[in-house]
Amino acid sequence: MAPQDRWITRRLYDAQPDARIAQEMLLGIGGVRALRLLYPLVRLHHFNEGHAVFGGLELIAGRMEDGATFEEAWRDARETIVFTTHTPVPAGNEVHSLADLLRLGAGSELVAGELRRIGGDPFNMTAAGLRLARRANAVAQLHGETARRMWAEVE
């Protein structure tokens, strides 16, 4: 990592919104790009909590670069994503300003309307993870019951 980029990883769970978004971009977008280079035949991506959700946006953008429509790309990406939620309280599920995501490039070339459909505005990382995944789970049976009630409105 270049010295000028070390601010991204200096502090885990940084309270500064730009730093959090940059960390999640590194994990999600960077993770998908690294997997494409190292293991081009990866067929399943597991997003463990919302932190890696930008990887799903990267998968969609990649399919769109290959000529797919947004709807086709989203459908195809969903077939490769599973999502685990860990935090059954609203305060523990991150949201980011859609404007900040666009400004920082977290949307992987998707436009505001597409990002809004996936994560809302503000962009809710857990809701996005649920909408991006073909299957979602929780870390325990009781937690799963709580999460299903908490996220019942997410399609």
Residue 123 lies inside a defined structural domain of this protein: yes
pLDDT digits (tens, 9 = 90+) for 31-53: 999 999 999 999 999 999 999 99
Cα(32)–Cα(97) distance, integer angstroms: 23
* CA angle, residues 48, 126, 85, in degrees to nearest 5: 40
CA distances from 127 to 40, 42, 50, 64, 72 (A): 28, 24, 8, 22, 20
Distance CA 77, CA 123 (A): 19
pLDDT tens readout for residues 54-96:
999 999 999 999 999 999 999 999 999 999 998 877 777 899 9
CB-based contact 55:110 (threshold 8 Å):
no
Residue 9 maps to a domain:
no
Residue 88 sits in a domain of what CATH number? 3.40.50.2000
Number of domains the chain is built from: 1
Name the residue range of residue 57's domain.
17-150
Does the predicted TM-score (pTM) go above 0.85? yes
pLDDT tens, residue by residue, 88-138: 777 778 999 999 999 999 988 899 999 999 999 999 999 999 999 999 999
